[in-house]
Amino acid sequence: MRTVFTPHHALHAPATEFFRGERVPCFEKVERARSVHEALIRSGHRIDAPEVDSAPVLAQVHGARYLNFLETAWSRWLALDPANADRQPFPSTWPIRTLRADREPAEFSAQLGVYSMDSGTPICAGTWAAAKAGADAAATAAHWVSQGERAALVATRPPGHHAGPDFMGGYCFLNNAAVAAQALRNAGCSRVAILDVDYHHGNGTQAIFYERADVLFVSLHGDPLTEFPFFLGHADETGAGAGLGFNLNLPLPAGTLAPAWFDALATGEQRVRDFRPDALVVSLGLDTFEHDPISKFKLSTVDFHTLGQRVAALGLPTVFVLEGGYATAELGLNTTAVLAGFEQP
Ligand code: Q9C
Ligand code: ZN
């Protein structure tokens, strides 16, 4: 399978996040993409650098003020205090219910609250460059697939599916799956389906396409009653306006085993088939792995091979976009297991 990779992912390397009140090393780390890159080389997949500028598509899926905030965030953080070079910005005040998000505050720290859904998504000096390179990779894979390639993998980090129209969160800044889907639409696909199999609900992707009938969003994930992102991903979220009926959430309890997970996948596959899309984007989170350090489903490497086969059976031009997956040592092998299943004759 053709794959897109860029070493620029390593420019996003924040040091710590908060876990149970303490600072711990980030789970979403540079070694994740290295693990995937090495496995792609070992298994002989073709690897290319991004070759499409995603800027026009980014402007279709994210707000202009948010994009400007993200691009300038690090320099504005440094402008507050040069000593901030060795510190990470974290939001501390959010425009929650009864407070106003429509008046953009002038203060950087306040804007950080406006444009963040959580305090778990640290920005560092290279965050914009790495995230932009990832979005370029997603636009590149969509371009290849629209030109007749059967499938492609976007092998980048940071992930994207929690990033909404105008906010970051859940380790995500730019929504790569949304970029891929919108780029496929721009290239002439009438209908694009997104299948999100990350452990966590893809709240950002759902939000971006919630009122649209041309992009179907189907997601299997840990029940938000107990799992991040907590405040979206319930089964009663079915779309709104023109998009009513074009959003399908399949929440599953923490601890779900492979048979029940694949049953839910069958439900999602049927919805994708009924939609009759021209192309498919898979938000490929591999944090459903049984040994993932922050997630609670129980899929094995063999199950990821089966997942690849099941996706291939949909018979659609497919862009795989890497999302979560924090068992770093096994992430590469789990990724190539999906590709091997997909390509098995
Ligand atoms: N300290 C993705 O998989 N924080 N994002 C978990 C652990 C949120 C995961 C808390 C997890 C977000 C793309
Ligand atoms: Zn996840």
Q: What stretch of H or E contains 250?
A: strand 247-252
Q: 237 vs 166, 218, 219, CA distance in Å?
A: 20, 11, 11
pLDDT digits (tens, 9 = 90+) for 227-241: 999 999 999 999 999
> Which residues, chain by chain, have CB under 5 Å from ion ligand 2?
198-200, 285, 287, 324
* Residue 59 neighbours by CB under 8 Å, 6+ apart: 67
State mean pLDDT over 157-186: 99
CB 238 within 8 A of CB 247: yes
- pLDDT at residue 337 tops 90: yes
Q: What stretch of H or E contains 133?
A: helix 127-146
Say how many residues make up the chain.
345
- pLDDT at residue 156 tops 90: yes
Question: What integer best gives the mean pLDDT of the chain?
Answer: 98
Q: Ligand 1: distance of its center to the CA of 170 in Å?
A: 5
pLDDT digits (tens, 9 = 90+) for 12-52: 999 999 988 899 999 999 999 999 999 999 999 999 999 99
Do β-strands 192-196 and 22-25 pair in parallel, antiparallel, or remain unpaired? unpaired
Q: Catalytic residue among 143, 162, 201, 305, which?
A: 162
Q: 330 vs 39, 115, 335, 336, CA distance in Å?
A: 10, 33, 9, 10
State mean pLDDT over 110-124: 97
Prediction pTM value: 0.98
Q: Ligand 2: distance of its center to the CA of 24 in Å?
A: 18
CB 300 within 8 A of CB 3: no
The region of weakest confidence among 18-22, 62-66, 163-167 is: 18-22
Residue 345: the pLDDT is 72
Residue 33: the pLDDT is 98
- pLDDT at residue 6 tops 90: yes
pLDDT digits (tens, 9 = 90+) for 195-231: 999 999 999 999 999 999 999 999 999 999 999 999 9
